[in-house]
Amino acid sequence: MPGLRSQTLAPRERDLRNRISRMSECVFCRIVDGTIPAAKVHEDADVVAFTDLNPQAPLHVLVVPRRHIATLNDLTADDDGIVGAMVRTAAHLAREHGYDERGYRTVFNCNRDAGQTVFHIHLHLLAGRGFTWPPG
C-alpha cells in the first residue's frame, strides 16, 4: 500500500538524518573515529575506552560503544551485547590495573539529574581511591 509506505518511511528518514547530524557533532563519535585525539586504553569491534579528560580518581576511564547511542533511554534489546561488552571491558581494565580485588566504581549517568554532559552513552570506570555511598 503506497500511502502507508510513505507514511512509515518519512519519519525513519528524518530520524536517520537527525542521527547523522548528531553523530558529526558528537565528541565521543569523533574520538572513536580518531578525529579528536584521546588516550585510548582499549579498542575492539564494539567498544573503545579512553582516559577521561578531567579525571576524578587515579584511574578514570570512559568505555563507549563505537555506535552512537545518545542515552540509556535509547537502548533496545538489540544493544544488550554492546552493553555487556562495555561492562566486561570495564572489569577487564580494572583487573589489568590491579584494582579488581580492592574494588572500583562504574557509573552510567543518564540525562540532567544525573549530570550527563556528553550524549553518547559511556560507562565511567573509577578506581584508586575510596568512594562514598550514597553518591553526591
Which residues contact ligand 5GP (rule: CB under 6 A)?
27, 36, 38, 50-54, 62, 109, 115-118
Q: Least CB distance from residue 39 to ligand 5GP, whole Å?
A: 7
Which partner, Zn ion, ligand 5GP, none, binds residue 68 by CB below 5 to 8 Å per kind? Zn ion
Of positions 68, 90, 99, 122, contacts Zn ion by CB under 5 A: 68
C-alpha 112/C-alpha 79 separation (Å) is: 23
Q: Is 42 a catalytic residue?
A: no
C-alpha 20/C-alpha 91 separation (Å) is: 31
DSSP bridge partners of 124: 62, 107
C-alpha 60/C-alpha 49 separation (Å) is: 10
Which partner, ligand 5GP, Zn ion, none, binds residue 85 by CB below 5 to 8 Å per kind? none
Which partner, ligand 5GP, Zn ion, none, binds residue 71 by CB below 5 to 8 Å per kind? none
Is residue 29 part of the contact set for Zn ion (CB under 5 A)?
Answer: yes
| Active site members | 122
Residues binding Zn ion (CB under 5 A): 26, 28-29, 68, 120
